[in-house]
């Protein structure tokens, strides 16, 4: 699928579908900012459209079949006066509230509707003041994200004829900055889809070492340094917490390290670490999970896939800070070799951990990876992990949880998330929560009991970051979508990748 900018005017575009964004006008005096249709038809992103198509816009509006409400669409075949096969009005809601999030969603919705109808070529018209860099970037992202289907393993030949080949964004005037915005949006969304592809892969096909080979192939393609620490190397380094989790599986573990350190940045005082939990399958181990829904535990490597995807984008977008990604990868299995509840392991950092529940494995592998990141010279750490079921109990599936030992760094991350439309919610991290983490036999237990599960998991991690500014994102709530949305397929979301990319790109020393 290609997305290109064009200055060909709407009336001249030969395409399967010409798409105009249409905005409803809020009535004056509306309470609660609620949008109600006004008495005039929606304003569209094609000047003079209503007149050009013989009053069709007014007509569908009068019939209340289309009012311009967000994500509403209506379609007309063979519109007189236009060269397009179809004309589509796509609701943008109130124009004053139409920002990048709305644009991303709308673009995805339009793409998915037209694709389902077998349209392979369409054009989005952006007349007037709509063609800003930010909107073009967001539209490109929405289109590419909307095009993703987690169907790589379906053999159904039907899908071949439902494919979008080309999308044109028709803008009043071309410019280098719009071209750059389109490029940025394309790189970011393709990276997010790369992450989603990895997360879709089932655990029999995506073992820790397979994930490492995907990462290293990506690194070779995009010019990143890649190092894979194997089991022997991690034994040498005494990664006791990570290796304890891995020992139950026949699949060997690894630590994937991807580096973006161009020579111009070699002397930078800041160095960002992106750390991602890579449990390719989480059975729970000896503290085994119930069988219902266990198939979803293939997504327990979403954090790893997110940081690998983020590096793919950063290699191309070149942030002003050195960035290294660390993805500890294991499979958590019960077996005669598996770690038992009550086992005591020694982390790479040196603290001993009593493993009270083998299902709280993510924090064990992250502990060693976080310490390793610090000892490799990283000054700021952000991790993404499908760490606790409790985070979805607290937040539902709309927000990911944020936990940090540093308010300033945390605000930067939340701000980056806001700009990218990735909702993040901060939790308390008072030291009093450490009282929940007491072990009679080791320095720390790996669980904190019944209450505040996402917080105690984070307090556990805090022990391993050597007091460096650190933010933890618990993405167990957002990394997987159970039901498709109009703009987005069911399955892996790739969420939190854009927050990480933005954080790196906007870095100020
Ligand atoms: N991978 C799970 C967390 C998870 C749950 C992710 C649901 C996605 C959806 C994690 O390893 C885990 O099992 N956590 C336990 C912690 C508990 C034993 C303290 C949990 O959340 O139940
Ligand atoms: Zn678990
Ligand atoms: Zn897990």
Cα separation, 150 vs 142, in Å, equals 16
Q: Do 224-505 and 2-174 fall under one CATH topology?
A: no
**Residues known to be catalytic:** 289, 363
Which residues have a Cβ under 8 Å from the Cβ of 357 and sit 6 or more positions away?
Answer: 287, 341, 446, 447
- Region 235-259: what's the mean pLDDT? 99
- By three-state DSSP, how is residue 122 classified? strand
Confidence band of 298 (pLDDT split at 50, 70, 90): very high
State the CB neighbour count (10 A cutoff) for residue 341.
15
For residue 307, give the nearest of 459, 473, 481, 424 by alpha carbon. 473
Cα separation, 417 vs 317, in Å, equals 18
Cα separation, 391 vs 100, in Å, equals 27
For residue range 309-364, list pLDDT tens digits in order: 999 999 999 999 999 999 999 999 999 999 999 999 999 999 999 999 999 999 99
Confidence band of 9 (pLDDT split at 50, 70, 90): very high
- Residue-by-residue DSSP string for 282-339: E--TTSPPPSTTGGGGGGGGHHHHHHHHHHHHHHHH--SS-EEEEEEEEEE--STTS-
336-454-408 Cα angle (round to 5): 130
For residue range 63-122, list pLDDT tens digits in order: 999 999 999 999 999 999 899 999 999 999 999 999 999 999 999 999 999 999 999 999
Ligand 2 ion: nearby residues, β-carbon < 5 Å: 282, 359, 361
Cα separation, 436 vs 448, in Å, equals 5
Whether pLDDT at 412 is above 90 = yes
Q: Would you kindly state where each structural domain of the chain is located, as residue ranges?
A: 2-174, 224-505
Confidence band of 29 (pLDDT split at 50, 70, 90): very low
Whether pLDDT at 369 is above 90 = yes
Which of ligand 1's atoms lies nearest the C-alpha of 456?
19
Whether pLDDT at 462 is above 80 = yes
- Region 118-127: what's the mean pLDDT? 97
The whole-number pLDDT of residue 509 equals: 76
% of the chain with per-residue pLDDT over 70: 97
* Cβ 275 vs Cβ 381: under 8 Å: yes
Q: Does the Cβ of 386 fall within 6 Å of ligand 1?
A: yes
150-101-178 Cα angle (round to 5): 95
| Closest Cα to atom 3 of ligand 1 | 388
Which of ligand 1's atoms lies nearest the C-alpha of 279?
1
Pocket test for ligand 1, best of 388, 392, 449, 451 (most atoms within 8 A of CB): 388
Whether pLDDT at 229 is above 60 = yes
Query: Where does residue 158 rank: exposed (0-12), middle (13-18), buried (19+ CB within 10 A)?
Result: exposed
The whole-number pLDDT of residue 156 equals: 81
Torsion of CA 120, 123, 124, 128, to 10 degrees: 180
% of the chain with per-residue pLDDT over 90: 95
The whole-number pLDDT of residue 161 equals: 78
Pocket test for ligand 1, best of 389, 396, 480 (most atoms within 8 A of CB): 389
Cα separation, 147 vs 133, in Å, equals 21
- Region 177-187: what's the mean pLDDT? 98
Kindly give the distance from the C-alpha atom of residue 298 to the centroid of ligand 2, in angstroms, as a whole number.
Answer: 11
Cα separation, 300 vs 385, in Å, equals 8
Whether pLDDT at 126 is above 50 = yes
- pLDDT, averaged across the chain: 96
**CATH architecture of the domain covering 224-505:** 3-Layer(aba) Sandwich (3.40)
Which of ligand 1's atoms lies nearest the C-alpha of 388?
21
Q: Does the Cβ of 282 fall within 6 Å of ligand 1?
A: yes
Buried residues in 414-433 as b, exposed as e (16+ CB within 10 A): bebbeebbbbbbbbebeeeb
Confidence band of 39 (pLDDT split at 50, 70, 90): confident
* Cβ 192 vs Cβ 108: under 8 Å: no
* Cβ 174 vs Cβ 290: under 8 Å: no
Look up the pTM and report it: 0.97
Whether pLDDT at 138 is above 90 = yes
The whole-number pLDDT of residue 508 equals: 92
* Cβ 240 vs Cβ 346: under 8 Å: yes
Could you please state the CATH topology (level 3) that the domain comprising 2-174 is classified under: 3.40.220
């Amino acid at each position: 699928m290609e997305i290109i900018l064009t200055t060909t005017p709407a009336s001249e575009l030969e395409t399967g579908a010409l798409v105009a964004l249409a905005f409803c006008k809020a009535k004056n005096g509306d309470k609660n900012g609620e949008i109600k249709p006004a008495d005039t038809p929606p304003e569209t992103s094609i000047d003079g459209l209503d007149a050009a198509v013989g009053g069709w816009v007014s007509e569908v509006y009068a019939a209340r079949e289309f009012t311009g409400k967000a994500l509403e669409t209506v379609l007309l075949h063979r519109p007189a006066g236009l060269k397009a096969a179809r004309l589509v009005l796509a609701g943008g809601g109130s124009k004053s509230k139409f920002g990048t999030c709305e644009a991303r969603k709308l673009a995805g919705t339009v793409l998915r509707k037209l694709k389902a109808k077998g349209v392979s070529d369409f054009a989005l018209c952006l007349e007037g003041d709509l063609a800003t860099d930010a909107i073009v970037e967001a539209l490109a992202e929405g289109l590419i994200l909307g095009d993703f289907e987690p169907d790589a393993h379906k053999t159904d030949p039907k899908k071949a004829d439902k494919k979008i080949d080309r999308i044109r964004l028709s803008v009043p005037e071309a410019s280098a900055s719009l071209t750059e915005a389109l490029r940025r949006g394309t790189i970011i969304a393709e990276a997010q889809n790369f992450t989603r592809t990895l997360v879709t892969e089932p655990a029999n096909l995506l073992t820790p070492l397979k994930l490492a080979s995907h990462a290293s192939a990506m690194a070779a393609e995009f010019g990143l340094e890649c190092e894979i620490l194997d089991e022997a190397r991690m034994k040498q380094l005494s990664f006791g917490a990570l290796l304890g989790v891995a020992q139950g599986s026949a699949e060997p573990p690894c630590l994937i390290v991807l580096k973006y350190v161009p020579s111009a940045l070699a002397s930078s005082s800041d160095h960002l670490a992106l750390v991602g939990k890579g449990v390719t399958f989480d059975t729970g181990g000896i503290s085994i999970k119930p069988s219902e829904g266990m198939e979803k535990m293939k997504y327990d490597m979403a954090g790893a896939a997110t940081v690998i995807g983020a590096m793919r984008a950063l290699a191309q977008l070149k942030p002003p800070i050195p960035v290294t990604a660390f993805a500890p990868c294991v499979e958590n299995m019960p077996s005669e070799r598996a770690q038992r509840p009550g086992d005591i392991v020694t982390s790479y950092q040196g603290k001993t951990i009593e493993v009270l529940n083998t299902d709280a494995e993510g924090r064990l592998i992250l502990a060693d990876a976080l310490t390793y990141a610090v000892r490799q010279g990283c000054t700021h750490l952000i991790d993404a992990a499908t760490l606790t079921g409790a985070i979805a109990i607290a937040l539902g599936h709309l927000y990911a949880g944020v936990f940090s030992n540093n308010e300033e760094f945390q605000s930067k991350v939340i701000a980056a998330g806001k700009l990218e439309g990735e909702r993040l919610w901060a939790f308390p991290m008072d030291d009093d929560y450490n009282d929940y983490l007491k072990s009679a036999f080791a320095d720390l237990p790996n669980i904190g009991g019944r209450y505040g599960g996402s917080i105690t998991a984070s307090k556990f991690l805090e022990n391993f970051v050597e007091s460096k500014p650190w933010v933890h994102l618990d993405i167990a709530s957002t990394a997987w979508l159970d039901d498709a949305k109009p703009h987005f397929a069911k399955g892996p979301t790739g969420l939190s990748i854009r927050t990480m990319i933005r954080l790196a790109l906007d870095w100020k020393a």
